[in-house]
């Protein structure tokens, strides 16, 4: 229990410090609109790179922490998930979830390591929710993108400009694609160049198919050619990529399901024995040797799940 109390004091002080620090930025709504509508000062307004990014090795822990910028990453994830809230609010939710998880785990197991693990799991739940929302939103955006490109091509062939075609897309499509293109139009109205506004769109929606569109528009604005033909060809490429992605997902479905079953089987068996014959599992939760075995089993099971997930990941 001392571990939970000390962790609670530390995390509450940390959350208060984060809130006080971020509250000095000014009005929350004004800062939110400013961050959404204006580019970041350290961003490079140059060309968009569509090549595969190779991660460079870090030179040390301090260099890694300096380059990572976790708060900025968390803020971008919140935007990409469609949850327009402050980073300090998300951190406070994570702190509260950590305390709740640590308290529940300590009450059930009475062990400091399990209490810490329960706190980490509780604090990770908001991150998992963000990733789930982000993945679902990007998937919906990718599904709408080929149809939006077809509508843009039709508008250009009818003699409209690209901005007018985007206005038609905003009128015809709902969230998330309609809202994101509406933001692009609002940024161009306040004086931001269209290529830069598309770069900002790419940061909010980091889709590879959208990257191709941004590059096509920038190349056409610099070189000059039929933008309608380029967007029509791009629509075919996007559909081909999506078809390939679905084929890869279908081919690896059996292996992914097998990995999930193997990973969850120990938990299912342990829960079944706890209900059918509690005497079989009492040693694992109350005996010191049983607790060590249970900890080792949890670590090995999680390691196996991560390895299976890495083996089934296809980079293309």
Please name which of 88, 105, 73 lies closest in space to residue 7, comparing C-alpha atoms.
Answer: 105
Whole-structure pTM over 0.85, yes or no?
no
Among 3.30.70.260, 1.20.81.30, 1.20.1250.20, 3.30.1950.10, what is the CATH number of 137-249? 1.20.81.30
Distance CA 171, CA 149 (A): 14
Residues 6+ apart with CB under 8 A from 84: 32, 36, 78
Distance CA 107, CA 229 (A): 65
Give the mean model confidence (pLDDT) for residues 65-77.
70
Residue 266, preceding peptide bond in cis (omega within 30° of 0):
no
CA distance to 12, 250, 310, per residue, from 216 (Å): 49, 30, 33
Give the mean model confidence (pLDDT) for residues 111-119.
80
Distance CA 155, CA 211 (A): 21
pLDDT at residue 15 greater than cutoff 80: no
Give the mean model confidence (pLDDT) for residues 102-129.
83
Please name which of 35, 34, 46 lies closest in space to residue 72, comparing C-alpha atoms.
Answer: 35
Cα torsion 196, 133, 97, 67 to 10°: value is -30
pLDDT digits (tens, 9 = 90+) for 122-178: 888 988 998 899 889 888 888 888 888 888 888 888 888 888 888 888 888 888 888
**SS3 call for 192:** coil
Distance CA 122, CA 140 (A): 28
pLDDT digits (tens, 9 = 90+) for 164-222: 888 888 888 888 888 888 988 998 888 888 888 888 888 888 888 888 888 888 887 77
Distance CA 298, CA 224 (A): 59
Which two tokens mark 228?
């309608």
Computed over every residue of the chain, the mean pLDDT equals 76
Residues 6+ apart with CB under 8 A from 298: 117
Which two tokens mark 245?
């992605």
In the chain, what are the domain boundaries?
A: 137-249, 252-316
Residues 6+ apart with CB under 8 A from 101: 118, 119, 120, 121, 122, 123
**SS3 call for 297:** helix
Please name which of 181, 82, 201, 173 lies closest in space to residue 133, comparing C-alpha atoms.
Answer: 82
pLDDT at residue 302 greater than cutoff 70: yes
Distance CA 175, CA 177 (A): 5
Distance CA 233, CA 185 (A): 24
């Amino acid at each position: 229990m001392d571990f939970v109390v000390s962790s609670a004091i530390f995390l509450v002080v940390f959350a208060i410090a984060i809130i006080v620090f971020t509250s000095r930025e000014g009005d929350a709504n004004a800062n939110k609109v400013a961050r959404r509508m204006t580019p970041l000062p350290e961003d490079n307004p140059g060309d968009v790179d569509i090549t595969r990014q190779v991660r460079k090795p870090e030179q040390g822990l301090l260099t890694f922490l300096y380059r990572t910028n976790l708060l900025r990453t968390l803020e971008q994830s919140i935007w990409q998930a469609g949850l327009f809230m402050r980073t300090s609010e998300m951190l406070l939710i994570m702190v509260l979830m950590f305390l709740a998880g640590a308290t529940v785990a300590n009450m059930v197991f009475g062990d400091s390591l399990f209490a810490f693990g329960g706190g980490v799991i509780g604090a990770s739940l908001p991150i998992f929710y963000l990733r789930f929302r982000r993945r679902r939103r990007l998937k919906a955006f990718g599904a709408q993108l080929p149809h939006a490109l077809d509508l843009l091509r039709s508008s250009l062939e009818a003699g409209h400009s690209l901005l007018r075609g985007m206005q038609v897309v905003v009128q015809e499509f709902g969230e998330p694609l309609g809202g994101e293109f509406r933001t692009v139009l609002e940024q161009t109205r306040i004086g931001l160049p269209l290529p830069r506004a598309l770069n900002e769109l790419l940061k909010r929606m980091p889709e590879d198919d959208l990257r191709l569109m941004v590059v096509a528009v920038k190349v056409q604005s610099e070189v000059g050619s039929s933008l309608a033909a380029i967007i029509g060809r791009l629509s075919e490429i996007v559909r081909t990529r999506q078809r390939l992605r679905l084929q890869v997902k279908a081919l690896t479905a059996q292996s992914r399901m097998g990995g999930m079953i193997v990973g969850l089987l120990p938990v299912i068996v342990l829960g079944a024995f706890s209900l059918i014959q509690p005497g079989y599992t009492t040693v694992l939760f109350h005996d010191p040797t049983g607790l060590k075995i249970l900890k080792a089993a949890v670590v090995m099971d999680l390691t196996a799940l991560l390895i299976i997930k890495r083996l089934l990941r296809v980079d293309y």
